[in-house]
Amino acid sequence: MLTTRYTAAVLDTELIPAAEPDSEWLMVVLHGLGDSMEGYRWLPGALRIPALNTLLVNAPDDYYGGFSWYDIYNNTAPGVERSRDLLFDLLDQQRADGFASEQTFLFGFSQGCLMTLEVGLRYPYKFAGLIGISGYAHEPDKLVAEQSPVAAEQSFLITHGTADPLLPLTQTKTQMEQLQAGGIRMQWEVFEKEHTIQGEAEVAVIRKFVEDRMPPL
What are the structural domain ranges in the chain?
Answer: 13-211
Helices 76-96 and 111-122 cross at an angle (nearest 10°) of 60
CATH 3.40.50.1820 holds for 13-211: yes
Burial 65-92 (b: 16+ CB within 10 A, else e): ebbbbbbeeeebeebbebbbebbbebbe
pTM summary value: 0.94
How do the pLDDT tens digits run along the chain, 217 residues long?
333 444 556 899 999 999 999 999 999 999 999 999 999 999 999 999 999 999 999 999 999 999 999 999 989 999 999 999 999 999 999 999 999 999 999 999 999 999 999 999 999 999 999 999 999 999 999 999 999 999 999 999 999 999 999 999 999 999 999 999 999 999 999 999 999 999 999 999 999 999 999 987 5
Instruction: Give CA 96 to chain center in angstroms.
Output: 21
